[in-house]
Amino acid sequence: MEWLWQHFAECPITRNIILLVGVLYLLRLMVWLLLSLWSGTKAFFLAGLFKVDLKSYGWAVVTGASDGIGKEYAIQLAKRGVNVVLVARSVEKLRAVEKEILDQSNVAVRIVIADFSRTDIYDGINSQLSGTEIGILINNVGVSLEHPDYFLSVSEERLWQLINVNMSSTVMMTKMVMPGMVERKKGIIVNVSSASALNPSPLLGVYAATKIFMDYFSSALRYEYSDKGIIVQSVLPFFVATKLSGIRRSSFTAPNPKKYVCDALATIGVQSKTFGTLSHALQAVPFSILPDWLITKVTFRLLSNVRRAAIRRKQKKQ
């Protein structure tokens, strides 16, 4: 190492090159910080100035509308005067959501029963949506693993559920309703991805891959159809206090669905890719600064601990 230091000390060209690289990196970091600050300010503090009139778009279709984030999207869209179609597999839960919406809002509500783990459901959904002017699509339905686990430990059935529910549903529902939006030159498509899309997430590898699929799909659609009047947004939440996450008590870092969706709706038309709420945007900062290998390594360790704890709990119950 001594000869390397001596060479560096005696060679001004090397010093200048390294200095230039450092300055360019710092400039890039400063530009990223300024753009991120402006984007966050617009989305979370000035959103009212850029508010989109959601009611003017027509009906909204919300998949996975029986619980959590999907349910809250349906409720809050209805509060903004938007007629909603609730899509999920549990008729009892959907009826309960329908009643809750009708008790709070003066809108029309329709129910479509569909199990998105199947691939033979889309003709039936299409026939039930026929003739309805759909201007908003919330692709929210999703499924994860019971707990983090190694790839070969996950059943084939569960793998197909992850693929069909998380990816196929987004593609096929978009294919179904988007032609009407393009014809009217007006529409909103919101794809609820996950912060898991920010890194490979070992032990949740397939789940994370389905979520990066949704994010990339959103970006591609945005470039293809933005000039047709279509707003395409990718939403990447961290933890929200829902049944899917297993978090029962909300907090600043894990808000309840009502808080999260209220903030996320305000970002439509402001951010094409959003973490939905301020606390989640702050949690995303390390993913933009730290190297991928470090994030992935830390994620692997954290999820390994979660996996061991879940296995212990399961063994105690047996």
Give CA torsion, residues 263, 63, 270, 251, to 10 deg.
Answer: 20
Catalytic residue among 57, 207, 225, 260: 207
For 87, which DSSP code? Answer: E
3-state helix, strand and coil shares in percent for the chain, rounded to the nearest 5: 60, 10, 30
Q: How far apart are CA 252 and CA 15, in angstroms?
A: 46
Q: Which long-range contacts (CB under 8 A, 24 or more apart) does 262-265 make?
A: 262/76, 263/44, 264/235, 264/237, 265/54, 265/73, 265/76, 265/77, 265/80
- DSSP string of 201-257, one letter each residue: -TTSHHHHHHHHHHHHHHHHHHHHHGGGTEEEEEE-----SSTTTT--S--SSS--H
25 an active-site residue?
no
Q: How far apart are CA 307 and CA 318, in angstroms?
A: 17
Q: How far apart are CA 252 and CA 249, in angstroms?
A: 10
The single-letter code of the amino acid at 197 is: A
State the maximum Cα–Cα separation within the chain, in Å, rounded to a whole number: 78
Q: How far apart are CA 99 and CA 117, in angstroms?
A: 26
For 120, which DSSP code? Answer: S
| SS3 call for 54 | helix
- Residues marked as catalytic: 207
